[in-house]
Chain A
Amino acid sequence: MLIYSLGAFYIRRQFGDDALYTSLVQSYVDTLLRSGHNLECFIEGSRSRTGKLLPPKFGILSFILDSIMSGRVEDAIICPVSTQYDKVIETEGYVTELLGVPKKKENLADFLTGGSSVLSLRLGRVDVRFHEPWSLRGFIDEQIARLSKLPSGIDIDWKDTENAVVRQKILRTLGYKVLSDINDVSVVMPTALIGTVLLTLRGRGVGRTELIRRVEWLTDRVRAKGGRVAHYGHAPLADVIERGLDVLGKDLVGVLNDVAEPTYYAVDRFHLSFYRNMTIHLFISEALVAAALYTKVKLGGGAAIQDIPYEDLCDQILFLSSLFRGEFIFPADGLATNLNKTLAGLEADKVIHIQRDGEGKIAKVGLSDAERAAGRENYDFYCFLIWPFVEANWLAAVSLMGLVPPLGSESDIWIQVSKAQNSAQLVIIHSPPLILVLPVSG
């Protein structure tokens, strides 16, 4: 009831085929908007569990869009808001859940008392930013004008299936526009920078001076990719990092003081990965190029041998981006444009060198001499970002081999999805004892 009086309303998580319920919610939204109430909704649908951006949820947006497009409501003003915390809320609960321990039911009491850190206010800094608001009516008109230009004159009859496609298209564009607006105003928090640096380093730990240098470097990279970094006021970077480390706490980042220089190391990589995931979307294209190039780099040999033919590079990038399409949100310009842009950027940063043929087409791509001389620190950074995801997918794929029916069993046996997935987690967790106890089949 408390939540009600704050203006929240409950909706079912799934509507199923319940047409009555759907029209009920629709008229509820209509009424709210017509009488000028503000409506707040979370486009990501849920809190991101791993710190990454989530694709938009279209449910509530679709009701709002319908209110306007049907003409029942004149207009609505959309204001994308980004809310970020220095500390990822409830990571502890998520970590155990992700590792396969059943989720505890959320309840308000836990939320208010020590169950989460929301009200115990150990979130560090909270950053709320607003995008410039815009008219939804204006957006729709713009989209319809744009769409009807493509083939000549689409008749705007929304009952027509043709137009249902158009409506769906507008909904999707709307979802991704809101999300990218949120992205545009959101900032990378110092804790995310620290987490990213700690998880993209070779070696056990990092000295204070080097940590500061890497955070500075990453800040530049984030800005170069059009991202923003939280303002530090007038505090020197060293102090900001010190505060960030405090927020993360010694359970996540340890420090050795009995060495020549205070040296920081990742204590809990799983926890820290949530922080790294907050920057990964900025570098996903570079990371895929790095991972595709790695297929050759890992084979070793002379520098020239490690170059990858452009065709092979494209092939592996296409494969990986398809594999990760539910995992990350990719830039919207399409593969070819984006790949060329990414390669040009990496070439300009002197991370890679590109060999072109007589006609100026890209023939081969490899690590640049400058990057090798610098100890591959840029290249490694991109690889380290994506490797955990490559590994997770590899394990999932390996677990599929376990779905081959045993010899002598019928071929058409169906396995419960959740059990298959649990078993896939088991592949890693319990692997040594199993290898030891099971006889070789035959």
Chain B
Amino acid sequence: MTDTRTPPQLGKTLYHQGDLSYFEAVNKETLKNSYQRFEEEGIVHVVKSKDAKIPPRLRLAPEWMPQRDPATGELVASGRLWSFTEKIASSRREGKNRRDGATVSTRVIKLTDALGRRLFEEAMRVDVKGAAPPRLSSEEARGLRKAVKEERRRRKLENRAHL
């Protein structure tokens, strides 16, 4: 029960500290929507297994994969995915306590990388009950190749501009 109170409290703190302008941004529905867009844009590939017990899994598309610094292993704040992120950020509100700049990028990237590492560690722990397998079956891999090709074709044809 106490759990329900904790996230708002922490979120509020961050909001007041200015790292987060909008507490509302911590929003499951919007997040789901965004991931749906990323999938449609071909930024991530999502595989839905025929086996109902295996939940949907995802992976960054190779052509969107950011580089790591070969010496330090740190993620590099450049490349296609980072430009995409920066393009969103360019319309983002600049707060009283936050100026967009290199510090923000470095901090944010380190943080997301650290959390990502946990995701990968967890994904590899296949012995956990109900865990999704970290690799695709050969049938799934075949299905993916086909789907990716089709999606690429669709994106080319489709005029996605709305407004």
Q: Which residues of A contact B (CB under 8 A)?
A: 49-50, 96-101, 269-270, 273, 285, 288, 291-292, 294-295, 298, 316-323, 325-327, 330-331, 334-335, 338-339, 342, 383, 386-407, 409, 411-421, 423-432, 434-435, 438, 440-442
Contact B27 A392 (CB under 8 A): yes
Residue of B22, B44, B62, B66 ringed by the most chain A CB atoms within 10 A: B22
Contact A417 B11 (CB under 8 A): no
Q: Which of A330, A389, A395 contacts B163 (CB 8 A)?
A: A330
Interface set, chain B 56-87, CB cutoff 8 A to A: 56-60, 62, 64-66, 68, 71-75, 81-82, 84-85, 87
Contact B73 A441 (CB under 8 A): yes
- CB of B145 closer than 8 Å to a CB of A: no
Indicate whether A383 sits within 8 Å of B93 (C-beta atoms), given known contacts A330-B162, A412-B135: yes
Q: Which of B19, B30, B109, B134 contacts A392 (CB 8 A)?
A: B30
Q: Give chain B's interface residue range (CB within 8 Å of chain A).
A: 35 or more
Contact B31 A396 (CB under 8 A): yes
Contact B88 A416 (CB under 8 A): no
Contact A398 B85 (CB under 8 A): yes
Q: Which of A101, A331, A416 contacts B132 (CB 8 A)?
A: A416
Contact A435 B110 (CB under 8 A): yes
Indicate whether A392 sits within 8 Å of B81 (C-beta atoms), given known contacts A325-B162, A428-B20: no
Indicate whether A326 sits within 8 Å of B36 (C-beta atoms), given known contacts A409-B120, A438-B114: yes
Contact A101 B91 (CB under 8 A): no
Contacts of A398 in B (CB 8 A): 85, 108-109, 112
A437 and chain B: residue at smallest CB distance: B114
A428 to chain B, nearest CB (A): 5
Contacts of B136 in A (CB 8 A): 412, 414
Contacts of A396 in B (CB 8 A): 30-31, 34-35, 38
- CB of B151 closer than 8 Å to a CB of A: no
Q: How far is the CA of A326 from the CA of B90 in the complex (A)?
A: 21
Contacts of B138 in A (CB 8 A): none
Q: How far is the CA of A412 from the CA of B141 in the complex (A)?
A: 11
Contacts of A416 in B (CB 8 A): 55-58, 123, 131-132
Contact B35 A421 (CB under 8 A): yes
- CB of B146 closer than 8 Å to a CB of A: no
Query: What are 30 A-B contacts with C-beta separation under 8 Å?
Result: A50-B30, A269-B23, A298-B90, A330-B162, A383-B93, A387-B92, A390-B93, A392-B26, A393-B88, A397-B84, A402-B115, A402-B119, A403-B116, A404-B116, A411-B62, A412-B59, A414-B58, A414-B133, A416-B56, A416-B123, A416-B132, A417-B55, A418-B55, A419-B122, A420-B58, A429-B14, A434-B111, A440-B110, A441-B73, A442-B71
Contact B160 A403 (CB under 8 A): no
Contacts of B133 in A (CB 8 A): 414
Contact B21 A387 (CB under 8 A): yes
- CB of B3 closer than 8 Å to a CB of A: yes
Contact A413 B120 (CB under 8 A): yes
Contact A390 B24 (CB under 8 A): no
C-beta contact mask, B1-21 vs A, less than 8 Å → 1, else 0? Answer: 001100110110010000111
Residue of A49, A273, A395, A434 ringed by the most chain B CB atoms within 10 A: A395
Contact B10 A430 (CB under 8 A): yes
Contact A429 B25 (CB under 8 A): no
Contact B123 A415 (CB under 8 A): yes
Indicate whether A421 sits within 8 Å of B28 (C-beta atoms), given known contacts A383-B93, A397-B34, A414-B58: yes
Contact A387 B32 (CB under 8 A): no
A288 and chain B: residue at smallest CB distance: B163
B140 and chain A: residue at smallest CB distance: A414
Contacts of B58 in A (CB 8 A): 403, 414-417, 420
Q: How far is the CA of A420 from the CA of B56 in the complex (A)?
A: 11
Contacts of A99 in B (CB 8 A): 7-8, 11, 26-28
Contact B111 A431 (CB under 8 A): yes
Residue of B4, B21, B29, B124 ringed by the most chain A CB atoms within 10 A: B29
Contact A442 B72 (CB under 8 A): yes
Q: Which of A96, A295, A339, A407 contacts B4 (CB 8 A)?
A: A96
Q: Which of B113, B131, B162 contacts A321 (CB 8 A)?
A: B162
A25 to chain B, nearest CB (A): 22
Contact B59 A295 (CB under 8 A): no
A64 to chain B, nearest CB (A): 27
Contact B28 A390 (CB under 8 A): no
Contact B109 A401 (CB under 8 A): yes
- CB of B37 closer than 8 Å to a CB of A: yes
Indicate whether A391 sits within 8 Å of B21 (C-beta atoms), given known contacts A403-B44, A426-B115, A442-B73: yes
Contact B25 A391 (CB under 8 A): yes
Q: How far is the CA of A389 from the CA of B58 in the complex (A)?
A: 23
Q: Which of B11, B38, B160 contacts A325 (CB 8 A)?
A: B160
Indicate whether A427 sits within 8 Å of B112 (C-beta atoms), given known contacts A317-B163, A392-B30, A403-B59: yes
Known contacts A391-B22, A391-B93, A428-B11; 7 additional CB pairs below 8 A are A50-B30, A99-B28, A288-B163, A391-B24, A400-B38, A416-B123, A429-B7
Contact B123 A413 (CB under 8 A): yes
- CB of B150 closer than 8 Å to a CB of A: no
A376 to chain B, nearest CB (A): 13
